[in-house]
Copies of this chain bind each other. A is one copy, B any other.
Amino acid sequence: MRATVFYAPGDVRIENVPDPRIQQPTDVLARVTHACICGSDLWFYRGLTDFKPGWRTGHEWMGVVEEVGPEVRTIRKGDRVIAPFVTSDGTCEFCREGLYTSCVNVGFWGMENDGGQGEMVRCPFADGTLVALPPDVPNDDALLKSILPLTDVMGTGHHAAVSAGVRPGAVVAVVGDGAVGLCGVLAARRLGAGRIIVLGHQEARMDLARRFGATDIIAGRGEEAIGRVIEMTKGGADSVLECVGTSTSFNTALGICRPGRTVGFVGVPHWGEPLNARRLFFQNIRVHGGVAPVRAYIPELLKDVLAGRLDPSPVLDMTVNLDGVPDGYKAMDTRKAIKVMVRM
């Protein structure tokens, strides 16, 4: 089969790789129909994290099940499935609590495993990992595009909002204008936020933020932005969604959070500078969040997407086929695209 392979920073290629096969009785094989390129893929694409030449890529995908291991109980051949961005056994104490990302058998797509940016995938622990679409869901391109972000960015934005304790009527601030930040806006609105302030700097993204429910836009980060949010909220937001992962964005989140309230952080930490421990400590700001257990959120978010109440598909503002994946990386690297859909 063909799949995306990492060669070096700035260099991913589509190559022939071995076809996957069932290895464990709890595996399934699926043909990928849709995948994404993720903002977090840019970390290795830019050479900022260790990633070995030859490793495979892509952790967001949907597909159709083609072969099922003998111990798989709930997933069937022919099912259209949504894959969360990690695999999980579904039975350990953390999975039972909904914290699938801390599964004692947690696994990752890509690297030495099959990745979503390829034709086929072997999925371990299929029962604990995949969510099958109800059979009556129409095979509609627009609808499937609305479901695709549930594999990662919509679940992650929702995790930020849930972690930040967004309640009806709350004053919410979102740090970051990437796909996750934009999904955080959608999630905050869905949870009933009364006011949603977005800190970002690219005009097209801010337009989308407004469409998604943002009530106020603040350009940039840092001290000036902090001062403006503190002033407009008379002391800080009730819930802050940190959707970037740098120390600057995290400190901005701390700076605009109301004393005693919560920062929900989902940006993978790449903290080059010290955190503002003084504000964290002296204002009793709570920090919740981390990697999003999106598997736990897919059922409730899917219900809203299928009912037409939730549509994160506008974050997917560029579509490529498998051969176009390298161009997709380039477009995201240069911020020409918010997020790229790979339509096989």
Contacts and interface: CB of A to CB of B under 8 A. Distances in A.
A40 to B, nearest CB: 12
A297 to B, nearest CB: 13
B269 A271 contact: no
A271 B271 contact: no
A49 to B, nearest CB: 12
A318 interface: no
A44 interface: no
Contacts of A284: 99, 101-102, 288-291, 293
Contact of A94 (B259, B265, B274, B280): B259
B268 A281 contact: yes
A102 B281 CA distance: 11
Interface string A252-270: 0000000110000100110
Contacts of A287: 280, 286-288
Q: Which of A101, A269, A280, A290 has the most CB of B within 10 A?
A: A290
Contact of A290 (B271, B275, B283, B288): B283
Chain A interface extent, by class: 20 to 34
B259 A102 contact: yes
Interface string A7-51: 000000000000000000000000000000000000000000000
Interface in A278-319: 278, 280-291, 293
A281 B291 contact: yes
Interface in A56-115: 94, 97, 99, 101-102
Contacts of A260: 94, 97, 99, 102
B283 A286 contact: no
A261 to B, nearest CB: 10
Contact of A286 (B97, B269, B286): B286
Contact of A277 (B102, B259, B271): B271
A99 B282 contact: no
A171 to B, nearest CB: 13
Interface in A113-160: none
Nearest to A273: B274
A275 B282 CA distance: 18
A288 B291 CA distance: 18
Q: Which of A271, A274, A281 has the most CB of B within 10 A?
A: A281
Given A99-B284, A269-B280, 8 more contacts: A97-B260, A269-B278, A271-B274, A275-B275, A281-B289, A281-B290, A284-B291, A286-B287
21 contacts: A97-B260, A99-B259, A99-B260, A101-B282, A102-B259, A102-B260, A102-B282, A102-B284, A269-B277, A271-B275, A271-B277, A274-B274, A280-B290, A281-B289, A283-B290, A284-B289, A284-B291, A285-B290, A286-B286, A286-B287, A287-B288
